[in-house]
Amino acid sequence: MQVKLHSPTFGEDEIAAVVEVLRSTNVTSGWKVKEFERTFSPNAVMVNSGSSANLLAVSALCNPVMGALHPGDEVIVSALSWSTTVWPLVQHGLVPVIVDIDPETLNMDFVEVARAIGPRTKAIMPVHVYGNPCDIDRLMQFKNRQWIIEDCCESLGAYWDGKPVGSFGDIGTFSFYFSHHITTLEGGMCVSNREITDLMRILRAHGWTRDLEDNSHYCDLYPDIDPKFLFVNAGYNLRATELQAAIGLIQLGKLNGFVESRRRTAERLSEIFSHYDFFQTQCETPKGRSSWFGFPITVKDGPTYPNAKYIRASLENIGIETRPLICGNIARQPGMKLWPHRISGDLKHADKVMRDSFSIGCHQGMTEESCEYIKDTFKKIL
C-alpha cells in the first residue's frame, strides 16, 4: 500500500471546464479570473502562484504609491517558513529578522517577536504553519505599529475565532499549487483593502491600468494617452490564465469538504501517535481551526528515542511518503548567507524541527485504511 503526501483534488468537472475555456479561445486573464476573484473575496487579486502572491504583496508595500516600506527596513519572519516568504523581502532591499517558533503550534512565537522589534522594524510576516492559525490576538497587538502580511499559502480554509485567515493583516496571500488544499495547478491570490488591491492590480500586469475596476481617474489625469495602453507604475507579469480560474471556481466549491476530510484524518492520526511518548504532534492553536496542510511529527529528545532519519527512511521504503517541515530553519539555509538579515534569539526550536521533524500525508484522499496502515507500520518499525 502507498500513503502519498497528496492526491489530486481535481477530476472530470475541472477537466471539462478547461476544455470549455480552450474551445472559447479566450485563454488569457479575463472574465473568469475576475469571477474567481469575486467569489474568493471582495478585494482579491489572482496571480500565477503563491510565491508571486508574496512578491506582489511586498512589492505593493514597497511601492512609492504606498511608501510603507523602504530599503533597509526590517520585517520579522518566522524561522519556520518557506523560501518565498523571505526572498521577496531581500529582493526589495528589506532585512528579514528571523525569530523562533512555538514548539507546540509550530507558529511564530510572539514573545520572540516582541523581543526582536527594533527601530527599523516596520512589518511582520507570519506564516500559518501547516494550516494552523497563528495566535491572532497576539498578532493584532502589533498591528497599529507594524504592517502585517499574512502568509496563508498553506492554510486556505483555516479560521481563527470564526474568521478566515488572511483577513486580519493588511494583506493576505494564498497558494493554489497542485499539492495544496485546492489547486489551479499553479496559482495564488492576494487579498487586501481596496486601495492596496488597486495598486496590486496595476503591479500585477506591467504597471498597466487595464485591470482596474475603474480606471477613469487615470484616464482623466492623462487624456493624451490611449487608455488601452496607459502605464502608471512599474510592474511584473504575474497574471493567471482563464484555464486556472475555471479550475479554481470548481475547486472552491469543494474546499469545505476537503478541509473536513483533512480534519477527520488529523484527529485519527493524533489519536494514533498519542500512544508514543517520544513523538510530539502539532497542537491546534486555541481559538484556531486548522485546515491541516499535512501532519507534522517531531521526535522528542531522549537517549533511547528513535532517530528521525531512520524513521523517514523506513517509512519511504514501505510506501509512506514523508517530507521535511517547510524549510526547517530558514536561517540555516545557505541562500540566506548572501543577503543581509538579522537573527533574534537562538532559534533552538526551529533548529529542533529542522533536525527531528517530518510530516506525512493528511488529505482528502486518505481513508481509514490509510490510517490503519500508518498505525501498523509504526508498530513494526519502532
Where in the sequence numbering do the catalytic residues fall? 180
> DSSP assignment of 311-340, as one string?
HHHHHHHTTB--B-STTS-GGGSGGGGGS-
Pairing outcome for strands 171-175 and 279-281: unpaired
Q: Can you tell me the distance from the alpha carbon of 349 to that of 333, in angstroms, rounded to the nearest whole number? A: 16
Residue pair 170/196 in contact (Cβ under 8 Å)? The answer is yes
- Which helix (H) or strand (E) is 87 found in, with range? helix 83-91
Cell of 193: 483593502
CB atoms within 10 A of CB 377: 17
> DSSP code of 241?
-
In three-state form (DSSP H/G/I as H, E/B as E, the rest C), the secondary structure along 285-302 is: CCCEECCCCCEEEEECCC
Length of the chain: 382
Pairing outcome for strands 44-47 and 188-192: antiparallel
Which strands form 288-289's sheet, in the order they lie side by side?
A: 163-164, 159-160, 288-289
Q: Can you tell me the distance from the alpha carbon of 299 to that of 278, in angstroms, rounded to the nearest whole number? A: 6
Residue pair 149/142 in contact (Cβ under 8 Å)? The answer is no
Helices 255-273 and 368-381 pack at an angle, to 10 degrees, of 30
Cell of 167: 483577513
Cell of 89: 523581502
Q: For residue 231, give every residue at least 6 positions away whose Cβ sits within 8 Å of its Cβ, in sequence order, or none.
A: 206, 207, 208, 209
188 bridge partner residues: 47, 175
Residue pair 239/47 in contact (Cβ under 8 Å)? The answer is yes
Cell of 179: 499539492
Closest CA to 351 of 332, 326, 338, 324: 332
Cell of 351: 533548529
